[in-house]
Amino acid sequence: MNRINKVLETKKNILSIYFTAGYPNLDDTEKIIHELSKSNVDMIEIGLPFSDPLADGPTIQKSSTIALKNGMSTENLFVQLKNIRNKTNIPLIIMGYFNPILQFGVEKFCKSCNDVGIDGMIIPDLPVDIYEKKYKPLFDKYSLLNMFLITPQTSDKRIKFIDKVSNGFIYMVSSFSITGAVNSFGFEQKNYFKRINKMNLKSKLLIGFGISNSSTFKDAIENSNGAIIGSAFINFLKENKIEDIGKFIQLIRG
């Protein structure tokens, strides 16, 4: 069984952490994964930096710019992850835009993911229709799950189609905006969480965009299977040592 599905089936209140590969320093990727794994997070999303990350807020955009300046590339990432499965069994997901994957070669990318032990992908700008028609067989061949995003504006028909195609979790974007941390969720967002939860989809739901503290984490897990934290963690890395990651996770868990 894919490691992502194992977590989805066996754990509640899932916490997934996103960070940008090559940030703050080029060789920090493996160290951050190791510390997150020690801190008992449930899944890790490794951001593949891109020069034009349209869905990302200023915090993640800046981390991508720094990572690229540091010399991070698709090739470097796979070199850095070469022995990662000797050190952790935690589900690992690469989150990135389709252009770098296309330039690298889609099958070559999928094979490289399989070789180093990546469990799945999140590609915000790859529509589910195109994925199903053109790329799903490749992902299946290399045992990769592909997770899709939905927003408050996504129609019920589209959500049901995404649910049908999905074999991992659905990434439930908390608001129709770019990524970024907030202190609390409003009435409309909470109603949106409840509405999607009542659709009784086959796929598990993880909420992302805006999760930044124990309060927003608790709001998210009330109406989903878990939450994803990105910008708040990037901000933490900017101000703190990698060895202190456990303290951040403790604050989120509450």
**Burial classification of residue 67, based on how many CB atoms lie within 10 Å of its CB (0-12 exposed, 13-18 middle, 19 or more buried):** buried
Let me know if 56 is a catalytic residue: yes
State residue 180's pLDDT score.
43
Q: Which of 28, 45, 163, 219 is catalytic?
A: 45
Choosing from 56, 119, 163, 219, which is the catalytic residue?
56
User: What pLDDT score was predicted for residue 176?
Assistant: 44
pTM score of the predicted model: 0.94
Whole-number pLDDT of residue 73: 97
Please check whether residue 54 is in contact with residue 125, taking contact to mean a CB–CB distance below 8 angstroms.
Answer: yes
What's the DSSP call for residue 133? Answer: I
Domain of 239, in residue numbers: 3-253
**Contact between residue 217 and residue 227 where contact means Cβ atoms under 8 Å apart:** yes
Whichever domain contains 53, its CATH number is: 3.20.20.70
In the chain, which residues have pLDDT < 70?
53-56, 176-184
Domain count, the chain: 1
Contact 159, 132 (CB under 8 A): no
Which tens digits make up the pLDDT trace of 92-132? 999 999 999 999 999 999 999 999 999 999 999 999 999 99
| Annotation says 45 is catalytic | yes
